[in-house]
Amino acid sequence: MCNNFKITDFAAIQMAIDACAAAGGGTVLIPEGEWHTGPIRLKSHVHIQFETGAKLVFSGAFEEYLPAVFTRWEGIECYNYSPLIYAFRCEDINIIGDGVLYGNGEKWWPWKKLQQEAANELCYAQANGMPVEKRIYATEKAALRPSFIQFIHCQDIVLSDFTIQDGPQWTIHPVYCDHVIVRNVTVLSKGPNTDGLNPDSCNDVLIEGCHFETGDDCIAINAGMNEDGWRVGRVCKNITIRNCTMNGGHGGVVIGSAISGGVENVHVSNCIIKNTMQGIRIKTMRGRGGFIKNAMFSDIEINEVSDQAIQINSFYEFSTVKPLTNTPSELTDITIERVHGCGAGSAIEIKGLPEKSLKNIVLKDIDLTAKKGITVLDTDSIQIENVRVEQE
């Protein structure tokens, strides 16, 4: 497709996107320089391409992100402020090129301390019979922060080669999407809950060659939370993560804790994780339900993590809102092999529930040094082969 639309020919970036879509698709070119914008809504067959030296600075004025749009906030459907870049029911959308996207996240971050009342209502909405169309939270009083990039019910997405910095909350957040590629993207975020990349009830996602320094989990795979996740019932599956680096944040590569719709077929390989709290982390808690099955982690280096280098934990102790039920999750067929590193607080922690033990866990060819060794609780059929842990 040869239609090119330079943003310098339009009064606003959104106008260039709209013109591109009206022409049947093409490329919106963002040249070198600093460009200021409000929220951007992408459309089918529109490709954003940055020239080297291009920088997009998103407005910190909250009112510009109205009207409210359909979204998923921490695993629960609602209507909230628009993400900074948003697409709904689109196909063939790209953001590519050596540019920088800056989200003015510090304007939003204080809302973390103000969100609890709205978060309580939203997280219990499904249990209390509140329909999605009534869950409207786009107010400063509610203080629920939007994601930076969020695509919902989209397919054939490519994100590559840019740097994205300091958004309001989760950074790259595809929801109910198919065929997503994120390649050679750098995510730098330091605010509360500013996860790097959250595939959320998606199918066929490839994440490769990316670098993360985040204020929360670097990559976190999710599938809806509690009763609302059960209602939607959409599995997050066929996720491939390879050749990525994580330097700082909470978990390096994480599954959970919002796994209520289920997670399956995850393959993580050839990653380097350092200076995080956890390295490989699988987390859930009573009340989440759902499942994790067929997850493989291999050829991973983990250094200088403050807590666990490897953790599978059904007793996850943190949640924005406490679940209403004790429904356990099912965790089975998880393999972790060829992992090495030093400087962890704890090498390996594996904890199932007394009423729902873990099944078919394989730890193989692992060499770690840590202050604490190995803990295994409530786990059936665990295989430990050629695992060496040196306690500091």
Per-residue pLDDT at 68 exceeds 60:
yes
The residue type of 286 is: R
Question: Does residue 68 lie within any of the structural domains?
Answer: no
33's tokens: 């320089």
Question: Does residue 83 lie within any of the structural domains?
Answer: no
Residue 319 binned pLDDT confidence (cut-offs 50, 70, 90): confident
Q: Which residue in the block uniquely carries the two structure tokens 């997503």?
A: 180
Q: What are the residue numbers of the active site?
A: 216, 250
**What per-residue confidence (pLDDT) applies to 256?**
97
Per-residue pLDDT at 144 exceeds 60:
yes
CA distance linking residue 107 with residue 109, whole number of Å: 6
- Give SS3 for 133: helix
Question: Does residue 27 lie within any of the structural domains?
Answer: no
**What per-residue confidence (pLDDT) applies to 165?**
98
Over the stretch 8-62, which tens digit does the pLDDT of each residue have?
999 999 999 999 999 999 999 999 999 999 999 999 999 999 999 999 999 999 9
Of 281, 336, 278, 274, give the one whose Cα is nearest residue 301. Answer: 274
326's tokens: 């004790």
Report the DSSP beta bridge partners of residue 41.
Answer: 86
Domain that holds residue 295: 217-392
**What per-residue confidence (pLDDT) applies to 7?**
98
CA distance linking residue 275 with residue 93, whole number of Å: 34
- Quote the mean pLDDT of the chain: 97
Report the Cα 231 to chain-centroid distance in Å. Answer: 21
Of 139, 88, 147, 100, give the one whose Cα is nearest residue 118. Answer: 139
**What per-residue confidence (pLDDT) applies to 128?**
98
**What per-residue confidence (pLDDT) applies to 378?**
94
Q: How many CB atoms lie within 10 A of CB 91?
A: 16
CB 59 within 8 A of CB 37: yes
Over the stretch 249-301, which tens digit does the pLDDT of each residue have?
999 999 999 999 999 999 999 999 999 999 999 999 999 999 999 999 999 99
Q: What percent of the chain has pLDDT over 70?
A: 99
Question: Does residue 325 lie within any of the structural domains?
Answer: yes
State the Cα angle at 66 between 60 and 72, rounded to 5°: 95
**What per-residue confidence (pLDDT) applies to 318?**
83
- Give SS3 for 59: coil
Question: Does residue 232 lie within any of the structural domains?
Answer: yes
**CATH no. for residue 374?**
2.160.20.10
CB 321 within 8 A of CB 296: no
Residue 317 binned pLDDT confidence (cut-offs 50, 70, 90): confident
Q: How many CB atoms lie within 10 A of CB 314?
A: 28
If one counts the domains in the chain, the total is 1
Q: What percent of the chain has pLDDT over 90?
A: 98
For the residues 126-135, what does the mean pLDDT come to?
A: 98
Question: Does residue 106 lie within any of the structural domains?
Answer: no
CB 28 within 8 A of CB 3: no
Question: Does residue 346 lie within any of the structural domains?
Answer: yes
Question: Does residue 267 lie within any of the structural domains?
Answer: yes
The residue type of 326 is: N
Per-residue pLDDT at 1 exceeds 80:
no
